[in-house]
Amino acid sequence: MHPWIGAGAEDRARILAEIGKGSVDQLFSQLPQSVQVGAVGVPEALDEASLLTYLEGLAGENLTLDDMPSFLGAGVYRHVQPAAVDAVLGRAEFFTSYTPYQPEISQGTLQVIFEFQTIICQLTGLEVANASLYDGATAVVEAALMAHRIHRGRRDRILVAETVHPVYRRVLNTYADALGLEVETVPLSEDARLDGCALVAAVGEDVCGVVVQSPNFLGVIEDLPAAAAAAHGCGAIAIQVVAEAASLGVLKGGGALGFDIVCGEAQSFGIPAGFGGPHLGFFACREEHVRQMPGRLVGETVDAEGRRGFCLTLSTREQHIRRAKATSNICTNHGLMALAATVWLELLGGSGLCALANSCLSRAAWLRERVATIGGGWRLAYPGSAVFNEMLLLGPGSGPELVERMADEGVLAGVPSRLWGGSWPDGLLVAVTERSSRHELEALVAAMGRVR
């Protein structure tokens, strides 16, 4: 008898007798014989201790980010991880409950989402934020499709800066193909920012949206006001993507700079790297577009006695009501990850997030200064461009070679910049955070000095 199955053999016999069936097989009599099997070919069961040993074995085959100084970023960052975050996530009231469709017994989850929506609005400078999406890449897709819908499908081009994360752009292509949305890439200029002239030349009456990421894939801060103005000049929706959400601790969210949608990846807010997931897509927009927004929304209301309470609202946008005409097919989202982000943000608070972002900024500035002194072919690809916490370094070899040689020196130095192509030089994308101690930074610089 397995401990996760509630009824033992005696129980089953008793229930079978009560419902008037001679055998369990009778319950499956609707299934054609040819689809039935005696057993499936998975390995034999493991007891709990053996199971843990097996999984610890698999975990032990991986080199963790704590095993050597790590400077990997490219959309997944290693920020502080307060113990209280996981302690809250471990409460069964949160992690073993379903989507809060019954508000009377889900006020905990609903209020958390309401607080999450509020904080995302504050960080993005926009009026409405949803309850979460899967990740940054799919958030960009949802934003593009929303821009297409706002223009009622009459404008079929969307302009995407080449400096938007290459994986996000690829994912957008996967989705856009089927819906007749043409994704056009706008190149970057020599300072690693979106080429403003190319953008102005590309906009037109058939463009539904303009997508810009800042800080961009190469770490560089984009000229957001100019991009928003170019989008609005042709009546398109201006979309800002944020892949490093910690940057919002020091940089204004796009809403304050004219953007209509700000969306992206919030893994930085207390969510482990976890080999790429689950992470947290966030999505905010202007109130006037809320009816075209994807995903769940929580609103404030009152109960029969006038007590404040929260419930899912504006649900007519969603698949369970509008079916084929829904604003997205999303149902299950990343609610528990939104809880993690909310706990993390509320623990740090405004002053903590600001200090964290400044710490990233200071460490990046320190590293940029030191790179110039290393020699041996090491240099900043874009020394004149402003960055938050990530930068493209060129060195004595290709990106993948540098990764390997630096690992031999005991440092996880970064991500090869041309892993997915791109019209920028081949080097290392190096990210620092508030966790990159002086000691680790020195180790990085020293290792670079040895790789010539």
What is the footprint of another protein within residues 332-371 (CB under 8 A)? Answer: 332-337, 339, 343, 345-356, 358-359, 361-363, 365-366
Residues 197-226 vs another protein: string with x where CB under 8 A? ------------------------x-xxx-
* Least distance from another protein to the Cβ atom of residue 196, Å: 14
Tell me the site size for another protein, rule CB under 8 A: 210
* Least distance from another protein to the Cβ atom of residue 443, Å: 13
Residues 151-190 vs another protein: string with x where CB under 8 A? --------------x-xx-xx-xxx-xxxx----------
**Taking CB under 8 A as the rule, does residue 227 contact another protein?**
no
Which window, 156-164, 195-203, 232-240, 320-328, contacts another protein (CB under 8 A)? 320-328
Question: Reading across the β-sheet that carries 390-394, which strands appear in turn?
Answer: 379-380, 390-394, 428-431, 415-416
Residue of 200, 250, 443, 445 interacting with another protein (CB under 8 A)? 250
* Least distance from another protein to the Cβ atom of residue 79, Å: 10
Report the site for another protein in 82-111 (rule: CB under 8 A). Answer: 82, 84, 86-88, 90-109, 111
Residue closer to another protein by CB (options 56, 206) is 56
Residue closer to another protein by CB (options 45, 201) is 45
Please name the residue ranges forming H helices in 318-382.
319-322, 335-374
Cβ of 84: how many Cβ atoms within 10 Å? 13
Peptide bond into 215 cis (omega under 30): yes
Q: Of the candidates 407, 392, 414, 400, which has an alpha carbon nearest to the alpha carbon of residue 447?
A: 407
Give the CA-trace dihedral at 126, 131, 133, 137, to 10 degrees: 20
* Least distance from another protein to the Cβ atom of residue 376, Å: 22
If DSSP codes are grouped into helix, strand and coil, which group holds residue 416? strand
What number of CA atoms fall less than 13 Å from residue 3's CA on the CB side? 3
| Nearest-10 crossing angle of helices 335-374, 438-450 | 50
What number of CA atoms fall less than 13 Å from residue 74's CA on the CB side? 21
**Taking CB under 8 A as the rule, does residue 428 contact another protein?**
no
Between CA 388 and CA 367 the distance in angstroms is 12
* Least distance from another protein to the Cβ atom of residue 385, Å: 10
Between CA 246 and CA 77 the distance in angstroms is 9
Give the residue carrying structure tokens 């020293």: 446
Which window, 148-156, 232-240, 298-306, 374-382, contacts another protein (CB under 8 A)? 298-306
Q: Of the candidates 165, 260, 265, 259, which has an alpha carbon nearest to the alpha carbon of residue 216?
A: 165
Report the site for another protein in 258-297 (rule: CB under 8 A). Answer: 265, 272-279, 290-291, 296-297
Residue of 201, 301, 372, 383 interacting with another protein (CB under 8 A)? 301
* Least distance from another protein to the Cβ atom of residue 32, Å: 6
Which window, 17-25, 184-192, 202-210, 374-382, contacts another protein (CB under 8 A)? 17-25
If DSSP codes are grouped into helix, strand and coil, which group holds residue 407? helix
**Taking CB under 8 A as the rule, does residue 19 contact another protein?**
yes
If DSSP codes are grouped into helix, strand and coil, which group holds residue 45? coil
Report the site for another protein in 36-65 (rule: CB under 8 A). Answer: 36-37, 39-46, 48, 51-52, 54-65
| Nearest-10 crossing angle of helices 136-150, 166-178 | 40
Q: Of the candidates 188, 185, 264, 197, which has an alpha carbon nearest to the alpha carbon of residue 226?
A: 197
Which tokens go with 289? 């577009």
Residues 115-134 vs another protein: string with x where CB under 8 A? x-xxx-xxx---xxx-xx-x
Cβ of 306: how many Cβ atoms within 10 Å? 7
Residue of 22, 152, 197, 305 interacting with another protein (CB under 8 A)? 305
* Least distance from another protein to the Cβ atom of residue 294, Å: 10
Residue closer to another protein by CB (options 177, 204) is 177
If DSSP codes are grouped into helix, strand and coil, which group holds residue 50? helix
Report the site for another protein in 376-395 (rule: CB under 8 A). Answer: 386, 388
Give the CA-trace dihedral at 313, 318, 322, 324, to 10 degrees: 170
Nearest 5°: phi and psi at 275? 55, 30
Cβ of 87: how many Cβ atoms within 10 Å? 10
Report the site for another protein in 20-39 (rule: CB under 8 A). Answer: 20-21, 24, 27-32, 34-37, 39
Which window, 112-120, 147-155, 198-206, 389-397, contacts another protein (CB under 8 A)? 112-120
Residue of 314, 398, 409, 425 interacting with another protein (CB under 8 A)? 314
Q: Of the candidates 360, 354, 329, which has an alpha carbon nearest to the alpha carbon of residue 441?
A: 360
